[in-house]
Structure 1
């Protein structure tokens, strides 16, 4: 089900354009920083990887929150690059991390309420936006992007930590089945919402160190990841239709095993094995920054690829991007392979022992293919095979 990528765009913690983000990625930069606008002692995790910019004002802002507006922006840019004009054969496949409460609007409306509910309108409910319920709909971005791009073909909206991989895989199936001629895939996620930061801190998944003590994934002293956020979009077309317009070729797979947290390593290996082809020597890891999981992941993936394969971690630079990670990984890996350069595991000083060779600095490569893997709760696994001309 390999598909050609003919357009892409993103908003990531390392840059708003692909060129800017990849340049900083190859330079080994890290986007982690202390959170702005949040009390320093409010959350267990002290570092985040934010976008650092705001979306342009638009009429769609009545229904879309910040990340949804970013999704609209990147979908438009990717479609423009690919020359997509819209129509009944253009499908849209969207992935997002999950429903989030709009606390900045809801708290002022609720903080003065009484248990009896008396005078609830005057006590704050009158301050709610008249569309506040509609703004919570999970398919808002899908609907508004499809209108903006005149994408009237088959499509799907996916939610959850693996939504980006699911959207990619579904888009490829639609192309292979002939349901659409063009598939626009977009994914957006923020792990910086208050309730998410509380959960990540309580579970120990997020790093609690300051910037100077931050250890990256696959470090001997890794102790949790940095939460991040991103929006990304790619345009997929059948290989024969795209021809020389192809920026890259991609294929995705997803799976799950029902584990409470990250999937078992054998599940990740099972999903990845559906895509691995002879000669794969580059892997972008799930990069959970959990010493035990990192080691098991490396062992499981090493059994699938050629001896001497190397391992990098986009998440060491950009933070964990949740549902958006697979689409960001696709764009980043393809861009790096096209340059003939592989990015390092940013900030890695003391690599943990284990299978696969960890990249300590940017490295030239002649490889034209790479594998990206991602994981999330509950027990979700995703993989993307990326190839370049």
Structure 2
């Protein structure tokens, strides 16, 4: 079910534009930094990878929070690049990390409430936005983006840690079945909400070190990942329709095993197996930065790819991006392959022993294909294969 990518845009911790983000990715930069705007010592994890910018003001802000407004921006940019102007055969497929409480508005409304509910309006409820319940809807971005882009075709909203992969896979199926002619895939997620940071810290999967002691995924001393956030959009079309407008080809899959935390490594292998071809010589790993998981991941994936395949991690640069990771990985890997350069595992100085050669410094390549993996709780997997037509200056 391979589809052609004809437009893309993102907001990532490494940059607002694709060009900016990929340049920093290839330079081996890391977006991790101490949090701003809240007390870092209130959370077990001391580092985050935020976007660092705010969305433009728009009338849709009545219903959309910050990440949703970013989603509207990137969807518009991707559609414009692809030359898509909407219609009954244009579908929208959205991936959303999950429902999150809007604490900055809810806490002032609740903190002075009485146990018996007396004078609740005057004690704070009057400060809630009239649309506060509507603002929590998981399909808000889907609805407003579809209106803005006049995307009136079939579509779907997915939720969870691999929602971006689900959205990509569903869009590809819709194209293959002829349900739509064009599929806009949109994914947004932030792991920087207070309740998420508390959960990540309590489960021990987030890094607790300061910036100077931060170890990269696949390091011999890896000790947890950096939570991040991102929004990304791509436009998919059938190969024969896209023609010379094609930026890359992509194919996605998703799966799960019911694990309480990260999926079992064999589940990664099972989901990835259907996407691997002899041309895959680069893997963008799940980047969990857990020594045991990293080692097991390398072992099972090495059995799927040709000997000599190498390993990188966009998560080492951008942090864990939740539901948005697969769409970000698609854009990042395709952009790097188009340049003919492989990105490094940022900050990796001492790779742990094991199969798959870890890339520690950007290097040139003539390879055309890459495999990307993402993982999250509960036992969720996203997999993606990216392929470009040309490599190097011809395809910049």
> What TM-score do you get using the length of structure 1 for normalisation?
1.00
Question: Which residue matches 1:326?
Answer: 326
Matched, 1:8 2:8: yes
CA distance in 2, matches of 1:185, 1:40: 34
Query: Structure 2 CA distance, aligned partners of 1:368 and 1:170?
Result: 24
Deviation at residue 244 of structure 1 after TM alignment: 1.0
Give the 3-state SS of the residue equivalent to 2:42 in structure 1: coil
Runs of 4+ in structure 1 deviating by more than 3 angstroms, as ranges, are: none
Deviations, residues 174-210 of structure 1 (Å, cap 9, x unaligned)? 0000000000000000000000000000100100000
1:153-232 matched pairs, under 5 angstroms: 153-232=153-232
Secondary structure (helix, strand or coil) at the match of 1:286 reads coil
* 1:1-389 superposed matches below 5 A: 1-389=1-389
Point out where structure 1 has 5 or more consecutive residues left out of the alignment.
none
Structure 2 unaligned residues grouped into runs of 5+: 390-396
Aligned length: 389
2:393 aligns to what?
none
Partners of 1:126 and 1:378 in 2: CA distance: 37
Q: 1:355 offset after TM fit, Å?
A: 1.0
Q: Could you tell me how far apart the structure 2 residues matched to 1:4 and 1:89 are? A: 16
SS across alignment from 2:311: strand
- After superposition, give the CA deviation of every residue in 1:313-337 in whole Å (9 maximum; x if it has no partner): 0000000000000000000000000
- CA distance in 1 between counterparts of 2:200 and 2:354 reads 26
Aligned-pair distance for 1:246?
0.3
Task: Please report the TM-score for the alignment, with normalisation by the length of structure 2.
Answer: 0.98
Partners of 2:219 and 2:311 lie apart in 1 by: 12
Instruction: Map Cα deviations across residues 146-182 of structure 1 (whole Å, 9 max, x no partner).
Output: 0000000000000000000000000000000000000
Give the C-alpha shift of residue 278 in structure 1.
1.1
d(CA) in 2 for partners of 1:67 and 1:235? 19
Partner Cα separation in structure 2 for residue 206 and residue 223 of structure 1:
8
In the alignment, the residues of structure 1 paired with residue 279 and residue 84 of structure 2 have an alpha-carbon distance, to the nearest angstrom, of 33
Paired with 2:220 and 2:227, the residues of 1 have a C-alpha distance of 20
Query: Separation in 2 of the partners of 1:293 and 1:114?
Result: 47
CA distance in 1, matches of 2:254, 2:315: 19
Distance 1:242 1:346 in 2: 34
- Aligned partner of residue 355 in structure 2, secondary structure: coil
SS for the counterpart of 2:141 is helix
Cα RMSD (Å) of the superposition?
Answer: 0.4
Query: Distance in 2 between the 1:351 and 1:269 partners?
Result: 21
Kept in 1, the 8 Å contact 2:279–2:368? The answer is no
Q: CA deviation at 1:114?
A: 1.1
Structure 1 residue 279: Cα displacement: 2.3
Deviation, structure 1 residue 40: 2.6
